[in-house]
Amino acid sequence: MPVYAFVCTKCDKCFESFVHSLEKTKEVTCPDCGGKKLRRLLSNFSCPSGDGPAGARPAGEAPG
């Protein structure tokens, strides 16, 4: 289930919400003021890159 970040245009509160689908973002309300006029924010995501702890390699990669 994706996590979306929002800012409320009524009270300027930033918050995150679990949302089942992009269409359901219209049902999200501000947890502080209950406002429904929200702006979706860009958020970071995590992706393994293989640059982890010393000696760590992606699965199947030969030492080298």
22 lies in some domain? yes
Distance CA 45, CA 4 (A): 11
User: What is the span of the domain harbouring residue 34?
Assistant: 3-41
Asked whether 15 and 30 are in contact (CB, 8 A), the reply is yes
Asked whether 34 and 56 are in contact (CB, 8 A), the reply is no
Structure confidence at residue 14 (pLDDT): 94
Structural domain total, the chain: 1
One digit per residue, pLDDT tens: the chain, 64 residues?
A: 678 899 999 999 999 998 887 777 788 999 999 999 999 987 666 556 655 555 555 555 555 5
Predicted TM-score (pTM) of this structure: 0.61
60 lies in some domain? no
48 lies in some domain? no
63 lies in some domain? no
62 lies in some domain? no
Distance CA 33, CA 12 (A): 10
28 lies in some domain? yes
Asked whether 33 and 11 are in contact (CB, 8 A), the reply is yes
